[in-house]
Amino acid sequence: MSGRSTTLRAAAEVALGRQRAPQHDSGPHMVPYLRAANVKDGVLDLSDVKEMNFTPAEQQTFSLHPGDVLITEGSGSISAVGASAVWRGEIDGVVCFQNTLLRLRPRDDRADGRFLEWWARSTFGSGVFASIASGANIYHISAERVRALPIELPPLEEQRRIADFLDAETSRLDDLAKTQVLLIERLKEREGVATELTLSNASSSSVRLKRMLTVPMSYGANESTEHDRRDWPRYIRTTDIANDGRLRDETFASLPPDVARNYMLSDGDLLFVRSGATVGKSFVYESQYGPAAHAGYLIRARVNRNLTLPRLIWHFCQTAKYWQQVDEGAIQATIQNVNAEKYGNLLVPLVDRERQHSTLEILDSQLATSRILQNRAKQLLELLAERRQALITAAVTGQFDVSTASGRCVTDGVTA
């Protein structure tokens, strides 16, 4: 790539948006405005666009033009600060922007807007924006620090070739990624269908969950202070239960023995999340996890092993039939809630006793195969994301000539 090294201020006008204040919440010149919440990495989320009063003079200063690059100037997450997207005039009329965003407007004689778009994506993905951020609870990159960032600026014609190349090549990678996402979705669907079919073939009846327990369902400990004592009983919370049915080791917490005493779990106890975004998620506690008690937002079901194996019920809890019952039994308040009574009334298949162990082996095997395939697809998604970022960075920094690149393996041997 032929060009020169300069700073962003030479390629674009970098402006900070208008600060939100109570006096701007109403007035005669209300117009839509974009804020940090509307900008994701490469995508504008326009599902929630708010309005503020901008005077005609302010509209001249803070309005957006098609091709403007918007960058998140401030964020509570270091991984989100610097995310960018391009305004393409998706909303008719005047649209302005808030001071949680920076606006990059290319200087016509020096920079192409689409090239700046890819430069911003490269700078975000490679961690440069995060490296210049400052702050504690809220991270800021500031307009002045962004203006001073280095940029390789080739002639306009070459900038357009680079943008055309990245449009085409990232689209190919995105199509591959969509295929893997679809594969994961289909595997999850098949997983549930196969489980339902296996349980249906092995069951002659269904019974209420409460009829399969040795004691009534119970809530856990409401402990506000958590500890990290490995010699104390583990304190299992909703955040400790992973989607794949395992217990996360990285979120360990414990309870004092005198507090945990009344909430200790036994091998095979089922735990159900009773409220919040993960309501309905389930987990089978096993003695291999060590002594443990459960939190108040988890409901314990102690299964009668003379009737069924606990993991058979857990497998059923991964099916559409289970989730349909959870949704029907949920109490819609501020947050979704399913109490012990509702869980107790769930209809659960009762596998014929002589077929329980063989059925469990089939279910475990089916699940393991499905999860292996899903993990492979997720690994490929990660590889595609890495290749995509390397491709963008290599192209905008001139590590290869896009006019001769085929788009296949063009990042081999280059650094992101």
User: What's the rounded Cα separation, in Å, for the pair 81 and 172?
Assistant: 27
Contact indicator for 352, 177 with CB cutoff of 8 Å: no
* Cα dihedral 229→234→238→240 (10° resolution): 70
User: What's the rounded Cα separation, in Å, for the pair 327 and 280?
Assistant: 9
pLDDT attached to residue 332: 64
Q: Which of 7, 4, 72 is nearest to 43 (CA)?
A: 72
pLDDT attached to residue 175: 96
Q: What is the DSSP letter of 233?
A: P
pLDDT of residue 415 exceeding 50: no
Q: What is the DSSP letter of 281?
A: -
User: How many contiguous H segments (helices) and E segments (strands) does the chain have?
Assistant: 11, 21
Token code pair at residue 322: 């289970």
Q: What percent of the chain has pLDDT over 70?
A: 95
pLDDT of residue 278 exceeding 60: yes
Helix (H, G, I), strand (E, B) or coil at 158: helix
pLDDT attached to residue 412: 45
Report the chain's mean pLDDT, rounded to a whole number: 91
Other Cβ atoms closer than 10 A to 197: 12
147-168 mean pLDDT: 93
Strand partners, 72: 101
Contact indicator for 248, 254 with CB cutoff of 8 Å: no
Strand partners, 105: 13
Q: For tokens 């979705």, what's the residue?
A: 185
User: What's the rounded Cα separation, in Å, for the pair 371 and 291?
Assistant: 28
pLDDT for 16-54, tens place per residue? 999 988 889 999 999 999 999 999 988 999 999 999 999
Longest pairwise C-alpha distance within the chain: 81
| Predicted model pTM | 0.78
Domains of the chain, first to last: 4-152 (3.90.220.20), 203-351 (3.90.220.20)
User: What's the rounded Cα separation, in Å, for the pair 38 and 49?
Assistant: 7
Contact indicator for 141, 81 with CB cutoff of 8 Å: yes
User: What's the rounded Cα separation, in Å, for the pair 38 and 16?
Assistant: 16
Contact indicator for 159, 112 with CB cutoff of 8 Å: yes
pLDDT for 359-372, tens place per residue? 999 999 999 999 99
Give start and end residues of each alpha helix (H) in 249-351: 257-260, 310-316, 320-329, 340-344
Q: Which of 395, 309, 362, 277 is nearest to 1 (CA)?
A: 395
pLDDT for 205-264, tens place per residue? 999 999 999 999 999 998 777 788 889 999 999 999 988 888 988 889 999 999 999 999
